[in-house]
Amino acid sequence: MHDISTVLLAKKHRVVQKQIRALAAFILQREKVGAAAINIVLVSKGQMQELNRTYKKHDYDTDVLSFRLDEGREGEPILGEVIISLDCVKAQCREFGNSFLEELQFCVAHGVLHVLGYDDRTVEERAAMHKRQAVLIRKWEMRSKK
């Protein structure tokens, strides 16, 4: 069972949280994850900068922070939190030429994959992770159009 929740702290943005939860659940299903509980928190630039400073020691806004909250023991549910800066998503739309929804989907997929253990520290890891994100989002979009 997948328990996905969302919290909107960036009040100036309008986001369809149901779609975010559905995409996260879809990714967990496609990645063959058994039980999982993931909280997706949508924040402003200032909120994200504070979180990034506190947890990663970086004093700037970023698009996604992800945290694995469980011990990673075999057979136990995966517990995680994905934090997304909606201001950063909006800025990246302009930078990459995506719609707000496309960029948000990318960030949700990126964060969930980090919770599942994907990493992007090296060029090879980043390429593999971005490829997996693209495949998952493409399958999600195809499924959503039916």
- Cα gap 113→31, rounded to integer Å: 9
Give me the pLDDT at residue 63, please: 95
Q: What is the mean pLDDT of residues 26-44?
A: 95
Q: Tell me how far the alpha carbon of residue 114 is from its chain's centroid.
A: 8
Q: Residue 91: give the domain boundaries.
A: 2-145
Neighbours of 1 (CB within 10 A): 9
Looking at the 3D structure of the chain, how many domains does it have? 1
With 80 as the cut, is the pLDDT of residue 79 above it? yes
104-137 confidence digits (pLDDT tens): 999 999 999 999 999 999 999 999 999 999 999 9
pTM, rounded to two decimals: 0.93
- The DSSP-derived string for 13-66 is ----HHHHHHHHHHHHHHTT--SEEEEEEEE-HHHHHHHHHHHH---S--SEEE
Residue 40 belongs to domain with CATH number? 3.40.390.30
